[in-house]
């Protein structure tokens, strides 16, 4: 294997992916396995995880475990991380992918909805990192990739697309990423974030992709004239998870077809 290929090779690595039961998380879990890693997939929907597990095993031959986990619960996260460590002995890469979006401005959002968004999008990333980082520090190696959003830095002003809690939570992910990167670089741990633009997923299929008005506007304003397609996020995720990004710290890489630059 050439030195360049080794930079992106994940053979021998163990990856934990949260929010892996569908969409971008499931795609990333498969991509990790295709790159040679063994994978632990976490979510609440065990039946979906089992389907993904069977697919990954049949298509890649890699080791996979499916772990039920409610990322809004500290006990559930702590137990899930321990299950992964018991099975694989280590966690080299953490993909903090679990997320949720609720529409509404600060005037209309309920406190319950606000807390649900922050508990899922921010607190879960904090807690997963909290229980994964000690092992990374011991081994002087780790890769943490947090899924943020282009909405960490840009927002929609049309009332039907306003998501103030989502904007705030993803901006918090950006801040958490830079803070952790500064603290843990000395231990051989890199911490970076990915900011997807519009991608079709189980969540967006029921919201944004149902609006022809929104999609037409998105296509018209985006330099690429289309939403992201399945798999187009994997390259960035794998880059930040591999030794190819060994000197990249605290960055938010936006993957949105150029929508945020115009």
Name which of 63, 24, 66, 64 is nearest 43 in CA terms. Answer: 66
CA angle 190, 243, 1 (to 5 degrees): 170
d(CA 225, CA 111): 36
Return the exposure string of 29-53: e unless at least 16 CB atoms fall within 10 Å of the residue's CB, then b: bbbbbebebbbbbbbbeeebbeebb
Cα 63 off chain centre by: 21
Return the exposure string of 225-239: e unless at least 16 CB atoms fall within 10 Å of the residue's CB, then b: eebbeeebbbebbbb
Yes or no: say if 106 and 167 are a contact pair by the CB < 8 Å rule: no
d(CA 77, CA 70): 7
Compute the Cα dihedral for 73, 69, 78, 123 and give only its sign.
negative
Catalytic positions, written as ranges: 166
DSSP, res 2:
-
d(CA 161, CA 101): 11
Yes or no: say if 253 and 238 are a contact pair by the CB < 8 Å rule: no
Place of tokens 């690429």: 224
Yes or no: say if 116 and 128 are a contact pair by the CB < 8 Å rule: no
């Amino acid at each position: 294997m050439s030195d360049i290929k080794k930079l992106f090779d994940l053979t021998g690595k163990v990856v934990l992916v949260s929010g892996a039961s569908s969409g971008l998380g499931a795609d990333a879990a498969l991509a990790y396995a295709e790159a040679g890693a063994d994978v632990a997939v976490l979510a609440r929907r065990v039946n979906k995880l089992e389907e993904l597990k069977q697919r990954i095993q049949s298509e890649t031959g890699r080791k996979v475990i499916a772990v039920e986990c409610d990322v809004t619960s500290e006990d559930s996260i702590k137990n899930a991380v321990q299950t992964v460590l018991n099975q694989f002995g280590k966690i080299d890469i953490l993909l903090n992918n679990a997320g949720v979006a609720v529409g509404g401005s600060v005037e209309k959002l309920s406190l319950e909805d606000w807390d649900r968004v922050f508990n899922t999008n921010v607190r879960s990333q904090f807690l997963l990192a909290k229980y994964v980082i000690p092992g990374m520090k011991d081994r002087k190696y780790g890769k943490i990739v947090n899924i943020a959003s282009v909405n960490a830095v840009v927002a929609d002003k049309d009332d039907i697309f306003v998501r103030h809690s989502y904007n705030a939570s993803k901006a918090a992910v950006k801040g958490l990423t830079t803070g952790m990167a500064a603290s843990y670089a000395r231990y051989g741990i890199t911490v970076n974030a990915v900011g997807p633009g519009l991608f079709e997923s189980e969540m967006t299929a029921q919201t944004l992709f149902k609006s022809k008005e929104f999609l037409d506007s998105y296509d018209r304003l985006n330099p690429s004239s289309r939403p992201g397609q399945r798999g187009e996020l994997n390259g960035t995720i794998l880059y930040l998870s591999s030794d190819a990004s060994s000197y990249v710290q605290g960055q938010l890489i936006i993957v949105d077809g150029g929508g945020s630059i115009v």
